[in-house]
Amino acid sequence: MRIPILKLHNYLLISIQTELDDQTAINFQEDLLREIHTTEATGVVIDLTSVEVIDSFIAKVLGDVVSMSDLMGAKVVLTGIQPAVAMTLIELGIHLQNVPTALDLEQGLLKLHQEMGE
Amino acid sequence: MRIPILKLHNYLLISIQTELDDQTAINFQEDLLREIHTTEATGVVIDLTSVEVIDSFIAKVLGDVVSMSDLMGAKVVLTGIQPAVAMTLIELGIHLQNVPTALDLEQGLLKLHQEMGE
């Protein structure tokens, strides 16, 4: 299955509301990078509110997609990281440094505005 | 599977990017009404850009969900209706009268603002 990517002005909004299996995560990575390219988005908010658990593979894919988007010129904000997900990320040594985070989608958009100095 | 519903301020945003089967459509209807209730959303944008075909059942569910949301106090805007979908709707006699439509998500949000006189 594919994770829907919404375009709003020059931002892309993604709310992951399904357990991410490996293939879905890889598809998501490809889809997001393609969307950044075609829409010329400058910012991305990935909302993880509904993600209860992640494993090391998914964590790596997420970390990678942030770096990749950054390379392409789109700033990523992660929102709604659950306690268990935060614990997993740190335990796996994935610190997502320099990745802005926020509580929810709205706060994420605000943060994106701030990051861009808008 | 479930269709993700994003909450942005007092609006709900939904982008349907999968072929809707009957069960998915029914789940979506339930999920949306529940979300309107819990979030107290006043407006909903349903983006159908990626929906290429619909059948009579899905069309009815969509028409119903607009009326139901309306009853609950949330204004619905449909966006991105494709030519084939528009043809199917009219041929089935589903005119979606009084339902504002717009080209894409951004225009839909604008329309929602206008409808609410904001």
Q: Walk me through the domains of chain B, giving residue ranges and CATH numbers.
A: 5-115 (3.30.750.24)
Alpha-helix residue ranges (DSSP H) falling in chain B: 22-39, 56-71, 83-91, 105-115
Interface predicted TM-score (ipTM): 0.76
pLDDT (tens digit, 9 = 90+) per residue, B57-104?
Answer: 998 899 899 999 999 999 999 999 999 999 988 888 887 777 889 999
The amino acid sitting at A28 is: F
Nearest to B118 by CA among B57, B75, B81: B75
Residue A13 has pLDDT above 90, yes or no: yes
Residues ≥6 apart with Cβ < 8 Å to B35: B5, B7, B12, B41
Residues in chain B closer than 8 A to A15 (CB atoms): 4-6
Tell me the per-residue pLDDT of A65-82, one tens digit each, with 9 for 90 and over.
Answer: 999 999 999 999 999 999
Band (A118; pLDDT cuts 50, 70, 90): low
Query: pTM for the complete prediction?
Result: 0.85
CA R_g for chain B: 13
- Whether residue B3 and residue A4 make contact (CB cut-off 8 A), yes or no, is yes
Q: How confident is the model at residue B34 (pLDDT cuts 50, 70, 90)?
A: very high
Residue of A nearest to B10 (CA): A106
CB distance B62 to B54 below 8 Å? yes
